[in-house]
Structure 1
Amino acid sequence: MKSTVLRIAQEKVDFFPPHRVTDDRSILTLKSLVFEPLCTWTDGHITPGLFKKWETESNGLIWNFHIRSNALFHDGSPCTASDIVVFLTEICQSVDTFGMKWSYARYFNQVTFTAPSSTCLRVETSRPMGDLPEIFSEFYLSKLDQSGHATIGTGPFHVLTFIPGVQASLSSCAQPTKTLHFAAHKHPEDRLNLLRTSQVDIACQLDALSPLPEQDPSFKWLSATSCLSVMAYLNCNKGIFSHPEARLAINMAVNRQALCDQVYNGQAIPACTIVSPFHFGFNQTHIPYDPEKARAFFAELGQDFSVTLRTPTFMPEHALQISLFIKNSLEAIGLHVNLDVVEDRPDYARQIGRKEIGDIALFDSSPHSTFRVLNDKISSRTRGIWWQGYDNSALESSITRANECLCSSERALNYANCLSSLQTDPPWLYLAHPNSICAARHDIDGLSMNHKGLIYFKEGSKK
């Protein structure tokens, strides 16, 4: 049988330690091919992954998750519930890309993981957690190889070779003659040029190009609106945006559709709440663009306002262009905007975590979980690291009710109520959900992209 090798250029090539969780699309693409998520997330819906089924007992205080039949690691060893207990225990100590502690330890602070059998994980909680399967969709079980790298999984591809930060070759478990070769190229211009010169077959994360590329008909283009939210934190602790009316007014002052058209060249959709249309519970309409109403609100206060807008240079992509668009929009309604540009992106994240946001701070929100966004960034009860002083007691009751609801349809309605209240009393300046973009040779079949920006290869895809 003829062998098939597909060459893929993406921003990064790495396999993090088993306990390390990331939102990076490059690394998640590799993880999703080599490993399996405990549960599978698809546009807000949860289906089986490594766990084939689950059920609850004791009014939702006990969950039993069952591993799919004959689950084996690529080295031939069985995948057991004990492996998952160790994995989850380590996850609770994990940190993000910037060395900041994830929230999982808080979620699981009063949770016990045990393995009553080799194929059953038991989770005992102090209160009902209806979103537990969704949280598990972020976790991909892996084990270390002989070199100490986390490259052994139970997914559809296994690792042939791996040079950290440089390249990795994967082989299909179902079609051994099919190989995917991933190479790291930091700059999107280089990735596109490698495709143009036939040195690779697929170029990924081209949405990082500035300006965004015209879609050359010489290639097959894949574009999927991301569940990532580009947004700006508003300082709810002090200053003008401690007033709910000011937060609503600033959302009326920015033409989000024009932002998508001008900055993203149409490769984005406007945001209308804290999550995307692909999140669980989403069922929202847009805050109207009404600059005259926004201008009137600030004029009624009878004073000149000067606000500080802080921005990184990337993450989100096109950060400076977005910030300039915001600045121009706010100055058009009578505010004076001081733009504070921070070059050090990791330190910028740490500053935001310390609530050093000025009045407005451009950022992005990557979790695909409505539960996580509400509990990590909005709730004044939990006051997560990204919380910026927002306090709405009525919303807190709605969040708790949604969190503890076990019925999926009822929980979706509860979350929809939370999201609706965050339109009338917004904690952020809502901006956009950008597209993830990649390009490939026309004759490559079976290539797809999901709303997390991950590429997939269906069986039977060819060179």
Structure 2
Amino acid sequence: MNRLTVALDRVYFPPRGRITDDTSVLTLRSLVFEPLCQWRDGAVGPALFVSWRHDAEGRVWHFSIRPGARFHDGLACTVEHVRDSIAATLEGRDMFGMPWSYARYLAGARIEAADAMTLRIATPEPLADLPEILAEFFVARDAPDGQALIGTGPYCVAALRDDAAVDLDAVEAGRQPARLRFVAEKGAEARFAMLLDGSVDVALNLDRRAAAPGGHGLRWGRVPTTLSVMFYLNCTAGLFASRKARLAANLAVDRPAILRHLFHGLGVPAASIVSPFHLGMAEAGLARIPYDPDRARRLFAEAGAGAEILIRTPTHMPERAPDIAAMVARDLAEAGCPARIEVVEDRPDYARQVGDKRIGDMAIFDSSPHSTFRVLNDKISAASCGIWWQGHDDPALEPMILAANHTMEHDARAAAYARCLARLQADPPWLYLFHPEESYAARPGVTGLTMDHRGVLGFGGGERG
């Protein structure tokens, strides 16, 4: 089809340097801009950086910009544009106003032009995962109105109507669809109604409807994502300072039941800190943690469970968070660990509280990075003590993480991360729950749609971003 209209949750182009895990925003961003490198299920390939090389230790890297790369207004993309975008990202904050960790990853790094089309990055320590980190960096320039709307991607912004709608035109002649219109609609049921009445050709995030995806003569797509829905466990004080109690919690909860009762079965039960699509998980070959309330009860008893624990939850993000918390509380109580639930209405403040380690005994959250390095560095490693770290300290794990960080060859690094992920199943710092699926639908005759495991919708023509 030459033109498609797509209904999604929101239309928004963040300022330069702002990183997001919102799939609506990522879909738009991936069409208009290019990432520096392209992530695909734990592997990294070319994007705006067409190639790269590093020294033997992995401290000095040279990244080459794609020849002929131009912004939509015709200006050639140079290493200075890339360097400026990296600098903006290193200073960026998330949707809750909290700092990202990129500046910590590249602390002490020298980022400079080797020539007009080659960026040189020298880091104090080996950083084998640098291309994967850069896969989250996009190069953008500001339009005359100050919004970051000019990129080098396959589509350019033709018209933007506040946060209500945007028209994107294909840059290359012959690319299909030639025009994409995205309209914002917060309600999943409303997006579905727009699809049924022909107002739109495609609707995203239909997994958020009350009804199960499928039927109505539509073309449906379902994709499990890299997102991890989980509970942080307070590993510093209280019951979950005990390894036995943390393992017991993971054995006590019936993950498939949560997916059946709350999400129409749309999801993959979690086995460790990351999804099946992260680097190292395929090599780890981990089966999901079994539902074993009898063993959980024994372990809870050995850990001294019996006093009521505090479970904290926001009203949303993750989807249906209070309902998930209620099912988890029931399962824990049946295994000998009574719990009460505290609901926090202010979602941004809830995130800040979690970052400040105010999680009670456990707090539901989601882990969005599709980088195994990032999840380990930000949330697990006691050596890093990142903002989301909740006190887990396994002396045997730290040298394993460091070894994986310093392993330059891809397959060997995947195997090194696999050992970390297996260790984290045996000694879990979180209550692992599931990786949700995203679903979308299109009218009959609409073809060429793809969705990757980040939940980013793509359109025929082999999009670069």
Normalising by the smaller structure, the TM-score range is: over 0.9
CA offset at residue 302 of structure 1?
5.8
- Alignment deviations for residues 7-48 of structure 1 (CA, whole Å, 9 cap, x no partner): 111111011111111111010000101111100001111010
Aligned to 2:94: 96
Q: 1:374 to 1:60 in 2, by over 3 A?
A: same
2:6 counterpart residue number: 8
Aligned AA (1:59): E
User: For structure 1, which segment, 284-293 or 233-242, has the greater mean C-alpha deviation from structure 2 after superposition?
Assistant: 284-293
Question: 1:99-147: per-residue Cα shift (whole Å, max 9, x none)?
Answer: 0000011011111110121110000111110000000001111111111
- After TM superposition, give the deviation of residue 266 of structure 1 in Å: 1.2
Scaled by the length of structure 1, the TM-score of the pair is: 0.96
Query: Contact 1:111–1:126 at 8 Å: present in 2 too?
Result: yes
Task: Output the CA distance in 2 between the equivalents of 1:206 and 1:310.
Answer: 27
Q: After superposition, where does 1:241-320 map in structure 2 within 5 Å? A: 241-282=240-281, 283=284, 284-300=286-302, 304-320=306-322
TM-score, normalised to structure 2, is 0.96
Q: Aligned runs of 1:54-453 on 2, under 5 Å?
A: 54-57=52-55, 59-174=57-172, 175=174, 178-209=178-209, 211-282=210-281, 283=284, 284-300=286-302, 304-453=306-455
Q: Deviations over 1:348-396 (max 9, x none)?
A: 1011011110111010000000000000000111111100011011111
Q: Quick one: distance in 2 between partners of 1:6 and 1:317?
A: 28
2:230–2:365 Cα contact (<8 Å) kept: yes
CA–CA distance in 1 between the matches of 2:205 and 2:261?
A: 19
Instruction: State how far apart, in whole Å, the 2-side matches of 1:100 and 1:406 are.
Output: 31
Q: 1:423, CA displacement in angstroms?
A: 0.7
Cα offset, 1:217, TM superposition: 3.6
Deviates more, 1:402-411 or 1:243-252: 402-411
Deviation at 1:401, TM superposition (A): 0.8
| Aligned residues of 1:15 and 1:164 also touching (Cα < 8 A) | no
Does structure 1 retain, via aligned residues, the 8 Å contact 2:228–2:273? Answer: yes
Say if 1:340 and 1:212 are closer, same or farther in 2 by CA, change over 3 A: farther
Q: Distance in 1 between matches of 2:96 and 2:304?
A: 42
Taking the aligned partners of 2:170 and 2:425, their CA distance within structure 1 comes to: 46
CA distance in 2, matches of 1:318, 1:215: 21
The answer to whether the 8 Å contact 1:448/1:455 transfers is yes
Aligned partner of 2:48 among 47, 50, 53: 50
**The residue matched to 1:141 in structure 2 has which SS?**
coil
Q: Which AA in structure 2 matches 1:326?
A: V
Distance 1:301 1:386 in 2: 25
In structure 1, give the amino acid aligned to 2:238.
G
Q: Distance in 1 between matches of 2:226 and 2:59?
A: 30
Q: Percent identity?
A: 46
**Cα deviation code 1:188-242 (max 9, x no counterpart):** 1111111111111111111222x34341242111110011000000000100000
In the TM superposition, residue 298 of structure 1 has moved relative to its aligned partner by 2.2
**Structure 1 spans left out of the alignment, 5+ residues:** none
Letter in 1 for 2:252: A
State the shift of 1:319 in Å: 1.1
- Higher deviation after alignment, 359-368 or 300-309: 300-309
Number of equivalent positions? 458
AA in 2 matched with 1:459: G
Tell me what 1:37 maps to.
Answer: 35
CA RMSD of the aligned region, Å? 1.5
Contact between 2:244 and 2:300, CA under 8 Å: does it hold in 1?
no
Q: Verify: 1:24 aligned to 2:22, yes or no.
A: yes
Range with bigger deviation, 324-333 or 99-108: 324-333
Asked if structure 2 preserves the Cα contact closer than 8 Å seen for 1:225 and 1:435, the reply is yes
Asked whether the equivalents of residues 212 and 264 of structure 1 are also in contact (C-alpha less than 8 Å), the reply is: no
Contact 2:312 2:344 in 1 (8 A): yes
Contact 1:220 1:442 in 2 (8 A): yes
Q: Which amino acid in the other structure matches residue 20 of structure 1?
A: R
- Amino acid corresponding to residue 102 of structure 1 in structure 2: W
Give, in whole Å, the separation in 2 of the partners of 1:443 and 1:299.
Answer: 59
Per-residue CA deviations over 1:323-371 (Å, capped at 9, x if unaligned) read: 1110111111122110111111111101101111011101000000000
Deviations 1:79-115 (A, max 9, x none): 0011111111121110000000000110111111101
User: 1:409 deviation in Å?
Assistant: 1.1
Equivalent-residue separation in structure 2 for 1:267 and 1:232 (angstroms): 19
Alignment gaps of 5+ in structure 2: none
Whether the 8 Å contact between 2:201 and 2:442 is mirrored in structure 1 is yes
**Alpha-carbon separation, structure 2, partners of 1:48 and 1:89:** 21
